[in-house]
Amino acid sequence: MAETLVMVHGMWGTPSHWDNFREFFEGRGYQCLTPTLRHHDVEPQGTPDPSLGRTSLLDYAEDLEKLIRGLQGKPVVMGFSMGGILAQILASRGLAEAIVLLSPAPPAGINALKPAIIWEFRSAMLRWGFWRKPFRLPFRETSSAMLNEMPAESRKGIYDGLVYESGRAACEIGFWFLDPKGALKVDASKVTCPVLIISGAKDLEHPISVVRKIAKRYERVATFEELPGHGHWLIGEPGWQKIAERIDQWLRRTLNRPA
């Protein structure tokens, strides 16, 4: 039976962000599922569902758990950016055979509010009630932080494909210490499956210093790779094929699957 990969997109994302990786891994014999997070099934830049702004990471995780429990056997969960913290939550619930974290958001206890992040989110955080409203960042902020290692001519196309995101989910990541529900809490002792963490040395969204702390959190089961010359958008930056190759090799070696 083919290995199943559940690929979880990041903030402002849609399943289309996985097109490169999905085609690569399907070509290697994997079954790839690319779910749409709750309220992200709208046209890019289209009017968001009003309830999106109050949607929690726990809501996203609940939907993904339902999907996984309907599968035959545990999948590998691959998460990009915000999808990375969702993968950690799912692993702590015993729902993953392995997890692959690309430019992941950190769990509670690790400060994600670095200067570059504060600068990127400044326009959103200056809006009163941003923690309960859908939001989308301006192109300039997105380009400089998320897409800093993408070719300049391709950044606008990526930006135009982004949808609105939950203000609550963003606050749960950035201000986890103020969240009474502890959406970002992950019991590291319950993450017992193999973990692959890949981060770009030039990532401004989730800086390498933050991702190193994530790797330290799961050091019992984690493999950590820093990629020089890469930024945040590992799923599409030049050289993404080599990243996909590394993941494929790690999965086959770690899960003892034939080449």
pLDDT at 119: 62
Q: What are the phi and psi torsion angles at 100 (to 5°)?
A: -120, 120
**259 assigned to some structural domain:** no
pLDDT at 126: 61
Q: Which residues pair with 226 in a beta bridge?
A: 199
Count structural domains, the chain: 1
Q: How far apart are CA 9 and CA 90, in angstroms?
A: 14
pLDDT at 257: 78
**163 assigned to some structural domain:** yes
Please write the tens of the pLDDT for every residue from 85-107.
Answer: 999 999 999 999 999 999 999 99
Q: What is the largest CA-CA distance in the chain?
A: 54
pLDDT at 122: 65
Please write the tens of the pLDDT for every residue from 10-54.
Answer: 999 999 999 999 999 999 999 999 999 999 999 887 789 999 999
pLDDT at 113: 75
Q: How far apart are CA 127 and CA 145, in angstroms?
A: 20
Tokens read off for 22: 């999905």
- Evaluate whether 98 touches 255 at the Cβ level (below 8 Å): yes
- What are the residue ranges in the chain where pLDDT is below 50? none
pTM of structure:
0.95
Tokens read off for 214: 């994530």
Give the domain extent around 218.
4-254
Q: How far apart are CA 15 and CA 209, in angstroms?
A: 28
pLDDT at 123: 66
**210 assigned to some structural domain:** yes
pLDDT at 23: 98
**176 assigned to some structural domain:** yes
CATH of the domain at 118: 3.40.50.1820
